[in-house]
Copies of this chain bind each other. A is one copy, B any other.
């Protein structure tokens, strides 16, 4: 995200070297171990995430003077490539400043950083969902996400209560509440779930997963980023 002049000065001692990157060249990929942050000097760069079938959602463009790659407390979660017609050049910034960061803050505060990082991750997935998924995919993604979170807290992962209304779910997923209702009904007719008002029982998680088209870092790495985004 944005970096103003005051910020830049502070980063100077970490700058390693300047690089020219070709259009379409990938600076880093989702899931790769974190190596550098970059300050854009000219041209511009985009960051994106993708579904497991290769639909891309661009999450941001970065113009000269801006910095990127700093959201990676544990691992990168965007792909990132140069996008401008003109020459794009960047400064590499050493990863060592992050190691320092990790060493210097007490563990409790590091946990908080990790939580902010998780927040970013959640937002990524929601953006991908809002930008590129259809109603069925949105609902399936949502149910599986809830399931996983309940499991993590030692509740049943296949049977739970939606504590939120259809309207709220629709708002969250960017669809109308009627569409939520219809889609849940269809899932039920096809035997994937049992859905009685707020009670949800997942009957066929595998098929739901197939529909959800979730973010998949492993596959994201091999997408030829120069190609236009595949249509739904």
Contact = CB atoms under 8 A, between A and B. Distances in A.
Interface of A: 1-4, 6-7, 10-11, 43-44, 46, 48, 56-61, 63-67, 70-71, 83-86, 97, 100-101, 104-109, 111-113, 115-124, 126-127, 130-132, 146, 149-150, 152-153, 163-165, 167-168, 171-172, 174, 198, 228-229
Contacts of A59: 123, 126, 172
Given A10-B111, A46-B168, A56-B171, 17 more contacts: A2-B149, A7-B111, A7-B115, A10-B108, A60-B172, A61-B168, A63-B146, A71-B119, A83-B168, A104-B106, A105-B105, A116-B116, A119-B120, A123-B127, A130-B174, A167-B229, A171-B229
B101 A109 contact: yes
A36 to B, nearest CB: 14
B171 A58 contact: yes
Given A109-B104, A123-B59, A115 B67 contact: yes
Contact of A149 (B63, B67, B108, B131): B63
A63 B119 CA distance: 15
A85 B168 CA distance: 12
A98 to B, nearest CB: 8
Given A84-B164, A119-B120, A130-B130, A172 B1 contact: no
17 contacts: A2-B152, A7-B115, A10-B108, A44-B163, A46-B168, A56-B171, A59-B172, A60-B122, A63-B150, A63-B163, A67-B115, A70-B119, A104-B106, A105-B109, A113-B113, A127-B130, A171-B229
